[in-house]
Amino acid sequence: MANVGMPPWSQGRVYLLVAFCLVVLFFVDKFQHEIHVEGASAFSTKQFRSSKALSTTIANDTLGFEKIMVINAPWRSDRKDSISLAASYTGISLDWIDGISADDMQDKAYPPGNHKKLPPGNLGSWRAHMNALREIVEKNLTTAMILEDDADWDFRIRSQLTDVAHGAQEIPDLVAQSELRLKESSMPSHDQLSPVELAGRSSLPISLASRQKIAKLEPYGRNWDVLWLGHCGATLSPPSPNRPDRIFIPNDLTIPSPKHLRPTSHSPLDAISTLYPPHTRIIHRANTTLCTIAYAVTQSGARKLLYEFGVREFDRGYDFALSDYCNGLTRGATRERLPMCVAVSPPVFSHHFAEKATSDIVGVGPGGRTSEGTRYVTWSVRMNLERLVRGQEEMVQQWGDGPE
């Protein structure tokens, strides 16, 4: 009865209707990957799978370094479990360096310097980093990355590091040239320039800076000592408007929006958030750099650091010591013999704060309480572990344009 008066549907119309529904379904499915919910949004794991296809060796299991070493205390098996899972989902292979308890150390094993004022957590951390460096020296590795076990990274770590590799190859030369230029007397004065203009004139875009292709065998080169990839705050090198010595990577969409660029929710914003356009990454000579979450060393860098802190002097937390060493603030340092430390801002590795985050090192690390999350990392592997394990396609993104 209900159909009375309605024209009967032709077969053609039915096909048309079905086709229309399929098209609608397709778009609904497509847009589900772009949902925006309060600063967090979703992305699909499909979007990063292709990143392994990068032609460089950075695509390999050790991200183009000869080894990746993780410092993990045997009594923090929880952290070992978590970082192992994160590495497994991003195709990274890890070597372990056992964390050390200060109770197992004898006084006579410390190098000169007043280590007694340091808390036990600092002593153990220092020794673990020394053991990692010693292993690099013993095995004569050309490069290695040292990670702390609460480090987190982006699913797109390989494409980020491809840019960093170009930068690491060029910065030592740029710095050397700018230091030469400093010695020349006829430098124009730039007193009238604003900080933004100074920053602009001090920086070269990566497209101009990287003339050479990255080498297959040593993608990062080896003209540097330390490549500081994960930190919780880095001061840029002083501006060098007459001869740029920083490299900038524009439009890097893996970088959080500027209002989120700070190591904790209570810290002031990082200088890059106002000096450069949004989504810019800077590769620069290290000045003051906080936290040793992730750094790479070359063989010669490892030897220098092992001598400096394992043999010559140890009197402050290792992260402060490394920062001072890179910045020429160590006793007896001269400008000519400064180590070449290259930093990346914002960092590509960052501390992950789990729900009940506790550090074994008292008084070190970003101050204040932090809720769960990883600063600086938008497509965080750790934040998505549960979804990955459950085989879900949709991942959650952090630090978008929405509120925190």
Ligand X SMILES: *[C@@H]1O[C@H](CO)[C@@H](O)[C@H](O)[C@H]1NC(C)=O
User: In terms of CB distance, is 39 or 328 closer to ligand X?
Assistant: 328
Tell me the closest approach of the beta carbon of residue 221 to ligand X, in angstroms.
11
| Interacting positions 69-128 with ligand X (CB under 6 A) | none
Task: Tell me: does residue 285 bind ligand X (CB under 6 A).
Answer: yes
User: In terms of CB distance, is 60 or 223 closer to ligand X?
Assistant: 60
Q: For residue 247, list its beta bridge partners.
A: 204, 283
The DSSP 8-state label assigned to residue 261 in this structure reads: -
**Binding string, residues 182-221; x marks residues near ligand X by CB under 6 A:** -----------------------------------x-x--
Identify whether the C-beta of residue 270 lies closer than 8 Å to the C-beta of residue 383. Answer: no
The DSSP 8-state label assigned to residue 289 in this structure reads: B
Collect all residues with Cβ–Cβ distance below 8 Å to 157 and sequence separation of at least 6.
Answer: 63, 90, 92, 348
| Interacting positions 221-240 with ligand X (CB under 6 A) | 237-238
Task: Return phi, psi of residue 284, to 5°.
Answer: -155, 165
User: In terms of CB distance, is 125 or 292 closer to ligand X?
Assistant: 292
| Interacting positions 31-70 with ligand X (CB under 6 A) | 57, 60-62, 64, 66
Handedness of CA 357, 363, 261, 351 (dihedral sign): negative
**Binding string, residues 238-267; x marks residues near ligand X by CB under 6 A:** x-----------------------------
The whole-angstrom separation of Cα 71 and Cα 74 is: 10
Q: Is 355 helix (H, G, I), strand (E, B) or coil?
A: coil
With CB under 6 A as the contact rule, the residue among 10, 11, 106, 140 that binds ligand X is 140
Identify whether the C-beta of residue 369 lies closer than 8 Å to the C-beta of residue 230. Answer: no
Applying CB under 6 A, the site for ligand X has a residue count of 17
Q: For residue 246, list its beta bridge partners.
A: 203
Tell me the closest approach of the beta carbon of residue 264 to ligand X, in angstroms.
23
| Interacting positions 286-345 with ligand X (CB under 6 A) | 287, 327-328, 338
User: In terms of CB distance, is 219 or 366 closer to ligand X?
Assistant: 219
The whole-angstrom separation of Cα 14 and Cα 363 is: 70
User: In terms of CB distance, is 278 or 328 closer to ligand X?
Assistant: 328
25-32, long-range: CB < 8 A, 24+ apart: 32/394
Which residues contribute to the site for ligand X (CB under 6 A)?
57, 60-62, 64, 66, 140, 142, 217, 219, 237-238, 285, 287, 327-328, 338
